[in-house]
Structure 1
Amino acid sequence: MSRLLLLIASAFAAHAQVTLAELNLEQAVTQAQAGYPSIRVSEARLAEAAAGINLARTAYLPKADLFGQVNRATRNNIFGMVLPGLPMPSISGPPKPENDLGGVWGTATGLTVSWEPFDFGYRKANVEAAELARTRAELAVERVRFDIATMTADAFLTVLAAEQTVLGAEAAVARARVLAQQV
C-alpha cells in the first residue's frame, strides 16, 4: 500500500501543475495501471504462457536430425569408427594383426526422421495444459489490474478525504479566530 501511495505521490510530483481537483479517479486509475510494474510482469507471464501453446503444438510435427562427423585414425585398428552418441551403427570387426601407424580419414553423415502418429492423447493433453496456463495467466493479469485499480482508488479517496479534512480544519481555525476577536 505504501508503494502505491509513493507511486501516486511521484505521479503528482512529476505533474506538479495537475492538482487533485484536475485529476479525477478514472485518470488516477489509468495512470497507475499504465506505470505499475506488476502489470507488466503479469503480461509477460501471459506472453510466456501463449508461447507455451505453440511449443506444445510442435510435438505434432515430425522430427528430423542431420548429423555428421569427420575423424582421423590410424590403420592400426578398425578405422572409420563412429563417435558415441550418433544414432548410427558403429563399425565393428577384428583388429589388424600387423602394426600400421599410417593415418586415414573417415567421415560419417546421416539423417534421421521420426514421427509418432499415436500417443494416446499425450500431446493433446500437453496442448490443453498450455491453454489452461494461458487462461490462468489472463486471469492473473485481470486480477492484478483490479488490485491496482482498487489500491489506487483507495489512495485517491484517502487523499481526497485528507484534503477535505484540511479544508474543514482551516474553516474551523477561521471560525475560532473570528470568535476570539469577538470575545
Structure 2
Amino acid sequence: MKRTLFLFLLIFPILGPPATAQMLSMEEAVESTINHYPTLAAQRSALEAFRANLQVLRDNRLPNVRLHDQVNMGTANGLSGSYFSLGLIVPTAGGRRPDNSAELASGNIALATADWEAYNFGRFEAENKLARADIAVGESGLEREQFNLRQVVINTYLDLVWLGQNLKIEQQNLARVDTARRIINNLVFNGIRPGLDSSLAAVELSRARLSYYQLQEEYRRANVQLATLTGRPINEMQIDTVFNARLLLGEPLPSDVQSGHPLLRYRDNLLTRQNAEIDLIRKSALPRVSLLTSVWARGTSLDIDNNFGPLGRGFGYSRSNFLVGVAATVNLTDFKRAKTRTNQQQWRVREATSLLNVEKLQLQNTVTMADSVMATIRLALQELPVTLRSANAAYQQRLSLYNNGIENILALTDALQLLTRTERQVIEVQRRAVSARLQKAYATSDFDPFFQLFRRP
C-alpha cells in the first residue's frame, strides 16, 4: 500500500493542475489563440493595407496642380529648325543674328498648370471594384486563417485530453501491476511460487513504467504546444478535462456544406477578384478625357527688336497668357495588350473556379464520410461497456485463481494486459468518434454541437 501511494503521489502532480493554474476550456483556448497569434496580426495588417488602398486611389484622382517660377540669366542665340529635345536640350527663345553673341540676357517666367482626368469610360469604377475585391479577399483570408488555426488549437487540445486519459490508464495499470507484484513476491517468499514469477512480475512493472514515461513525455510536448498557441505561461495553464462521452451515442442532425463556409468564401472572393481584374484590364485601354488649364507670365531683358537691355529689366513680368482645353488620349496598341492580358487572366479565372469546385467537393465528401464513420462508431461505443466489464472480470478471476495456486503467472499477465488494452481501446474508440464529429464540424463550419462534448453541464 505504501508503494502504491508513492506511485500515486509521483504521478498526480503531472496530471493535476498547478496551484496557480486556471482551467482553460476548449473554446477559451481557441479565442485566446485568435486574439493574440502573430500570423493573424500579420493578416490583419495586410487587410488594413488593402483598405487604405481605397484612399490611395481617391487621392490619385485629384487634379494635378503645379506652380513653377524660375529666374534665368544666359545667352540668347536663336536658330531656325526643329528637333526632339529628349529632355536634354535647353530651349532658347531669341532672334536670329548673323553672329553668335556672348552677351547676357535675363529672364523670368512663372507658370501655373492644372490637369484632371475627368472621364475614362469606367476605369475609375473598375479600379474601385478591384480594390473592394482585394479587401473581400483579405477579409476572407483572415477568416480562413482563423478557421485553420482553430483546427490546430482543437487538435492540440484533444491530444492533451486523450493523453491525459491514457496517463490515468497507465497509472491504474501501474497500481495493478504493483499490487500483483507484491502478491507474487509474498508467495515466492513463502515458497508457494517459483522465483521466476517474481522476475516476470518485476519485468511487467518495468514495462508499465516505461509506457507511462513515454506518454508523460508526449503530454508535456502537447502542453507546451498549446501554451505557445494560446500565449499563456505553461505553469499557469491547465485544460478543462470535462468530456460528455454520452453525447457521442446520439445521432447528429443532418447538415450540409454552406456557401458561407470560410474556405468557400475565400475561394469565391478570389474568383470575384480575378473577374474584377479582367474588367479593369479592358477599361484601361479605353480613351482618357482630361481637362487642362495653364496660366503663365514671362519677362525678358531683350526688347521688341531683340536688342540686349539692362539685366534687371528681365526679372519682372511683361507678358502673360492663359490656356484652357480638353484632351482625349488613347494608345491604339493598348487594345492589343489588353486583349493578351485578358486572355491570360481568363486562365486565372478558370483556375480559381476549379479550386472553388474542388473545395466544395472535398468538404461535401468530408461530411458524407463523417456521417458514415459515426454510424459505425456508435455501434462500437455501445459495445465498449460490455467489453470493459468482461476484461475487468477476467482479470479479477485470474488474480483470484493465481492467489489460490490454480493459475500460473503467464495467465495472470495475459489477463492484466488484456484489461489494459481494453481500457486503451475505449479511449481510442472515443477518440475516433470525436475525430469524426470534428471533421463534420470542419466541413460544415458549425462547431457548436462539437463544443457541446466538452462543455460543463
Q: Which amino acid aligns with 2:180?
A: L
Higher helix residue share? 2
Contact 1:57 1:123 in 2 (8 A): no
Structure 1 alignment gaps of length 5 or more: 1-15
Pick closer, same or farther for the CA change 1:27–1:17 going to 2, 3 Å: farther
| Pair 1:63 & 2:55 matched | no
Read off the aligned partner of 2:117 and give its amino acid letter.
E
For the residues of structure 2 that align with 1:65 and 1:103, how far apart are their CA atoms?
29
SS in structure 2 of the partner of residue 22 of structure 1 = strand
Provide the secondary structure at the position in 1 that maps to 2:69. Answer: strand
1:59·1:123 contact (CA, 8 Å) conserved in 2?
Answer: no
Aligned counterparts of 1:41 and 1:115: Cα–Cα separation in 2: 37
* Residue in 2 that maps onto 1:10: none
**SS of structure 2 residue aligned to 1:136:** helix
Stretch deviating more after TM superposition (113-122 or 30-39): 30-39
CA distance in 1, matches of 2:145, 2:132: 20
Structure 1 counterpart SS, 2:112: strand
Q: Indicate the residue corresponding to 1:168 in structure 2.
A: 169
Deviation string 1:29-51 (CA, Å, 9 cap, x unpaired) is 22222332211111111111111
Q: TM-score under structure 1 normalisation?
A: 0.72
Match of 2:43 in 1: 42
Matched letter for residue 159 of structure 1: L
Deviations 1:65-109 (A, max 9, x none): 22333433245x36xxxx986xxxx55344554555454443333
- Whole-Å separation in 1 of the counterparts to 2:44 and 2:71: 47
Question: 1:1-183, aligned counterparts within 5 Å?
Answer: 19=21, 22-74=23-75, 77=77, 91-97=92-98, 100-183=101-184
In 2, the alpha carbon distance for the partners of 1:23 and 1:123 equals 51
Question: Which residue number corresponds to residue 337 of structure 2?
Answer: none
CA distance in 2, matches of 1:127, 1:140: 20
Q: Identify if the C-alpha distance between structure 1 residues 35 and 105 changes in structure 2 by more than 3 Å, giving closer, same or farther.
A: farther
Structure 2 stretches of 5 or more lacking a match? 1-17, 79-84, 185-457
Q: Distance in 1 between matches of 2:96 and 2:166?
A: 99
Counterpart residue number, 1:5 = none
State the AA in 2 paired with 1:39: L
Size of the aligned set, in residue pairs, is 158
Of 151-160 and 90-99, the range deviating more from structure 2: 90-99
Amino acid of the structure 2 residue aligned with 1:33: I
Distance 2:39 2:51 in 1: 18
Q: What is the CA distance between 1:58 and its match in structure 2?
A: 3.2
Amino acid across the alignment from 1:47: E
- The alpha-carbon distance between structure 1 residues 98 and 164, as it changes in their structure 2 partners (threshold 3 A), is same
Q: Residues of 2 paired with 1:51 and 1:17: CA distance?
A: 48
Pairwise CA RMSD of aligned residues?
2.7
2:413 is matched with which residue? none
Q: What secondary structure is seen at the aligned counterpart in 2 of 1:44?
A: helix
CA distance, structure 2, for counterparts of residue 37 and residue 57 of structure 1:
31
Letter in structure 2 aligned against 1:122:
R
